[in-house]
Structure 1
Amino acid sequence: MNEFDQPDVAIKEDAMTYRCTLGVDIGTSSSKGVLVDETGRILASATLAHDVSRPRSGWVEMDAAVWWDEFTSLARALRASADEEGLAAEIVAVGVSGMGPCVLLVDETDVPVRPAILYGVDTRAGEQVGRMTADLGEDEIVRVGGSRLTSQAAGPKIAWVADAEPAAYARARRLFMPASWLARRLTGAYVLDHQSASQTSPLYDVDAEAWHEPWWRRFVPGIEAPVLAWPGDIAGRVTDAAALATGIPAGTPVIVGTIDAWTEAVSVGAHEPGDLMLMYGTTMFLIATGTRTLRTPSMWTTVGAFRGTRNLAGGLATSGALTAWLKDLTDADYPTLLAEAAASGPGARGLLMLPYFAGERTPILDPDARGVIAGLTLDHTRGDLYRAALEATALGVRHNVETMRAAGADIRRIIAVGGGTQGELWLQIVSDATGLVQEVPQVTMGAAYGAAFLAAVAVAPEGEAPRIAEWNPVTQRIEPDAEASRIYDRQFARYLELYASTRELVHELAAERHRSESPEGVLV
């Protein structure tokens, strides 16, 4: 970001002084910040868009300098806008959040040794996943860490750096994710939350809630293990240097923070046993919360955002990324595409799409899966294609929900959050495809708001902590349509069959592309 890039700031006008918490989330396609008063009202919000780097097929990276630069820009922009509007905002605590699990390795002076490797959308570490699984045994990995090793796990990605870039790894001394990196820059603390740590499989013991020391020493030698804490714990206080950079007063408490999907769940109160949070974003994410550690080969078992909770989580590799691709490809705006998709109707006039345009995460755990569009004719329109893409993500959600329930998850209610909740069509298609009611809260800005809430709880006097149900009440319920649900029951069976029948072919195509993009550039 240069000096001419400024956040697009929205602010609520008022004329009094507020004790506020600042929440900032570093996402895949943008960073968002909010100033929130003690009642949960958003006084100011700001967003900065950014891009990830995709240097090779299956690689998704980001320069960690962007995370800090955008945090400082958001903090200053929100403060400045509040001042300009005559709104005296006293920041009493800072909440941080970010995409994950990511792998940012830094040297002894906290200089990154390479760009950060992002979460499950980055599929480069397949060889390391296979080697570590063969070495340790899948059953033992699941017993300790809760989940099989997949492209979502951070442990194999650290091993990939050691294998592929030994000079960079030799300089590495610490491990960060976006939230923990912000906490480091703000306070100097080297801390990682338990939830994020539980996604560094096989390095964390889910039942013990601690690093698994034998495997840490074996697979990440030379890297200091972060201190573990819970997302809402206070990591430290803003240093003088960070205050100068951000405009946040020195001494302001900063929470530990966690991965954005879990902070999103906090933002809508979807963190109690029986809750399922469904996040509509660049990717789709689902988190079912309970008190038991559920293990199933095709989902991710993690600890929860709060002590005593466990999660069964899943994620689609594309959702908003797929609709954005179609938008760019057709040179149309979202309102036009949504209107045309609505006119297309359930079933997209005979189209069926697999949304695996960036491989797929759960429940098929197939980084070499690829997008498929079946049933195309010359009279299909871009509206049909857009409808098919929305339906594909909805059927992907259903696949995850059914897998969670088969593993023993008790799903009592669905709470929707994220940018995709702004339009009713997508919500309706998901409810129709899953047969489930969705609750939509008043604020769906997501992780930045959840981070601000956690910060408010962290500094509240004993017995006076705010409640998210009061901050952010449910304002909308999406009921499934019975006739549409019957159509999607048939489509779901076809969806499963389409993947099974095309898997071998698309794997061959993926392998061919991998070879063509190899360092030697030789197609064999």
Structure 2
Amino acid sequence: MVQAVFGFDVGTSSSKGVLASLDGEILAVAQRPHDVQRPRAGHVEMDANVWWRELCDVLAELRQSQPDVEIVAIGVSGMGPCVALADAAGVPVRPAILYGVDTRAMKQVERLTDELGGEDAILQRGGSVLSSQAAGPKFAWVKENEPEVYVQASRFFMPASFLVWNLTGSYTLDHQSASQCTPLYDTEALTWYEPWVQKIAPSIELPELFWAGDVIGTVTSDAAAQTGLPEGIPVVAGTIDAWSEALSVDAHNVGDLMLMYGTTMFFVNTVESVVRSKEMWGTVGALAKTRNVAGGMATSGAITGWLRELFGGADYGELVQEAARSGLGARGLVMLPYFAGERTPILDADARGLIVGLTIDHTRGDLYRAALEATAMGVRHNIEAIEAVGGQIDRIVAVGGGTQGDVWTQIVSDVTGRPQVIPTHTIGAAFGMAWLAACAIKPIEAKDWNPPVRTLEPNPENHERYSKLYELYRSLYPATREQMHTLAAFQQEL
């Protein structure tokens, strides 16, 4: 029997599992696509029970494809910060409210900011100001808008912690995820801040905190019966997917920036000491004694997926080829990628997408190219904001599904003027959790688990041309913000 570890991740558009040897060889990968629910404008939810069903399904497929593999440790991660309220038995009482793409709690953000002493007081304790990304206001939203649901709740989960609960019966959360539950977590004391917990979520029993990779339990007899796994396999604490992705590509050292290409674009920069920012997110890291400056766009791959559907389900490969033929500047189109509001660095849930320069001569390839360039412009904006608040970026490591092929990644390097390290495996968070699970069995250096294979360099001439378009890109949001907000208010009334 070959000893292997199982890593699993719940993403926005799919769940993915990987079996890997203890030396990092990928033995098998399986995936399950899923959809989020958008019951009304600004609301983005998902049934937490889907996460467990998909883990069981993926695991069954992987074990069937690799009958000679013995799974010796398990790690799980997921999108976040999410708020999945549950009763004392861990049964969800409503769909999980997702991370910053769900903007329903903006009134609670404003009210809590005032009640807790203003942005500076929250920033000092939590590392970030309240925004659509913060989990705390979402508790308040449920308490105020669904009181009959809230009274049923006594616990809360994120995808990783919900899966750990189902596997081990341990009610836990990792410190990194907790640090995005602003303002409930104290980033200096590394614990829940009880005065604000009692004000915002007084009836919720908050989970015990661990660091990602800590062994916190083993597979129970009940979980064994549901998954087909032997009882007693160790399970490590998980974390939010972007941080697991950073671990998967050894981008967790001071000066590293993990750039995640996915449904949304995410950034994790590791720094030497605490950074507080009103534009970005100051968090603790996935591993003990680490600190991060992080950020996230509300869309990236979500826009290309939306365009694909508008184009009748066109093949992605064809669209990428057409975008490549469109050329730099998408034949005179500039897009703002705020199709679901925007997270960092503008933190504006009411921002809206914008396409400028359209003519009847433009093609779907031009639009697709404009979407790729828009996300690249957003990447540059975030990189500049990270460095402005004290972040240190010496190396950018790319990860995620969007790294397949060089069109998108080359556009990002050309727009930002920054090289990107491409690792051997870019399959993402599930592989990072496999590494953490393997580390519970024996010490393994991340650089040996997933070494880099090449560096993608920017084209200086393209960077100069893109810099002129970037100036135009940056001017569009302040010039149209008022109109965006008017339309957002109109949409929310529908």
TM class by shorter-chain length? over 0.9
Counterpart of 2:106 in structure 1 is 126
Post-superposition Cα deviations, 1:214-252, rounded to whole Å, max 9, x if no partner, equal 111111011111100001101200000100101111000
Q: CA RMSD in A?
A: 0.7
Q: CA deviation at 1:118?
A: 0.3
Match of 2:455 among 458, 466, 477: 477
Which residue does 1:249 correspond to in 2? Answer: 230
2:415 alignment partner, one of 423, 428, 433: 433
Amino acid at match of 1:281: G
- State the distance in 2 between where 1:235 and 1:493 align: 49
Give the whole-Å Cα distance in 1 for the aligned partners of 2:321 and 2:6: 36
* Cα pair 1:283 1:321 within 8 Å, conserved: yes
SS at structure 2 position matched to 1:258: coil
Structure 1: state its 5+ residue gaps.
Answer: 1-16, 517-524
Matches for 1:380-419 after TM superposition, within 5 Å = 380-419=362-401
Query: 1:47-103 CA distances to partner (integer Å, 9 max, x unpaired)?
Result: 0001000000110000011000001111111111112xxxx1111100100000000
| Aligned residue type for 1:92 | V
* In 1: Cα distance, 2:276 partner to 2:379 partner: 19
Specify the code of the residue in structure 2 equivalent to 1:213: E
| Cα shift readout 1:117-154 (whole Å, capped 9, x = no counterpart) | 00000000001000000111211100000000000000
Map 1:89-488 onto structure 2 (within 5 A): 89-136=69-116, 137-331=118-312, 332-460=314-442, 465-488=443-466
**Residues in 2 aligned to 1:214 and 1:322: alpha-carbon distance in whole angstroms:** 40
Distance 1:452 1:296 in 2: 32
State the shift of 1:336 in Å. 1.0
| Alignment correspondent of 1:515 | 493
With the length of structure 2 as denominator, give the TM-score of the two structures. Answer: 0.99
CA–CA distance in 2 between the matches of 1:508 and 1:139? 28
Instruction: Give 2:17's aligned residue.
Output: 33
1:468 to partner: Cα distance: 1.6
Alpha-carbon displacement from aligned partner over 1:447-477 (angstroms, at most 9, x marks no partner): 00000100111222xxxx1112112111121
User: Which residue does the alignment assign to 1:63?
Assistant: 47
State the AA in 2 paired with 1:199: Q
SS across alignment from 2:440: helix
In 2, Cα distance between the equivalents of 1:388 and 1:99?
A: 27
For the residues of structure 1 that align with 2:319 and 2:23, how far apart are their CA atoms? 37
Q: 3-state DSSP class of the match of 2:340?
A: coil
CA contact (8 A) 1:97 1:257 kept: yes
Letter in 1 for 2:18: V
How much does 1:176 deviate?
0.6
Task: Pick the aligned partner of 1:79 from 63, 68, 73.
Answer: 63
Q: How many Å separate the matches in 1 of 2:203 and 2:351?
A: 35
Secondary structure of the 1:367 match is: coil
| Separation in 2, partners of 1:246, 1:375 | 53
- Kindly indicate whether the alpha-carbon contact (under 8 Å) linking 1:291 and 1:308 is maintained by their aligned counterparts in 2: no
Taking the aligned partners of 2:49 and 2:93, their CA distance within structure 1 comes to: 12
Aligned residue in 2 for 1:47: 31
C-alpha distance in structure 1 between counterparts of 2:451 and 2:330, whole Å = 34
Residues 327-336 or 364-373, more deviating:
327-336
SS in 1 for 2:198: helix
Quote the Cα distance in structure 2 between the aligned partners of 1:150 and 1:166: 22
Paired residues in the alignment total: 492
CA distance in 2, matches of 1:109, 1:180: 14
What is the CA-CA distance between 1:187 and the residue it aligns to?
0.3
1:503 is matched with 481
Following superposition, the deviation at residue 169 of structure 1 comes to: 0.5
Please say which of residues 466-475 and 381-390 is displaced more in the overlay. Answer: 466-475
Shift of 1:437: 0.3
Instruction: Find the aligned partners of 1:108 and 1:189 in 2 and give their Cα distance.
Output: 12
1:417-440 deviations in Å (ceiling 9; x for gaps): 000000200000000010000001
**Structure 2: which amino acid aligns with 1:221?**
P
Query: Mind listing any 5+ residue stretches in structure 2 that lack a counterpart?
Result: none
Distance 1:374 1:24 in 2: 40
Q: State the TM-score, normalizing by the size of structure 1.
A: 0.93
Cα distance per residue 1:250-306 (max 9 Å; x no partner): 000001100000000000000000000000000000000012111111101100011
2:190 and 2:2 map into 1 onto residues whose CA distance is 38
| Equivalent-residue separation in structure 2 for 1:23 and 1:325 (angstroms) | 29
Task: Return the alpha-carbon distance in structure 2 between the equivalents of residues 106 and 248 of structure 1.
Answer: 25
**Distance of 1:296 and 1:221 partners within structure 2:** 28
Out of 468, 474, 479, which is 1:490 matched to? 468
Tell me if the contact between 1:106 and 1:113 (Cα under 8 Å) persists in the aligned partners. yes
Q: Does the CA contact (< 8 Å) of 1:274 and 1:290 recur in 2? A: yes
The one-character-per-residue Cα deviations of 1:337-393 (angstroms, maximum 9, x if unpaired) are 111111111111111000001110000001110100001111111111111000000
Q: Distance in 2 between matches of 1:329 and 1:173?
A: 42
Residue 314 of structure 1: how far off its partner (Å): 0.5
Supply the distance in 2 between the matched residues of 1:138 and 1:63 (Cα, whole angstroms): 32
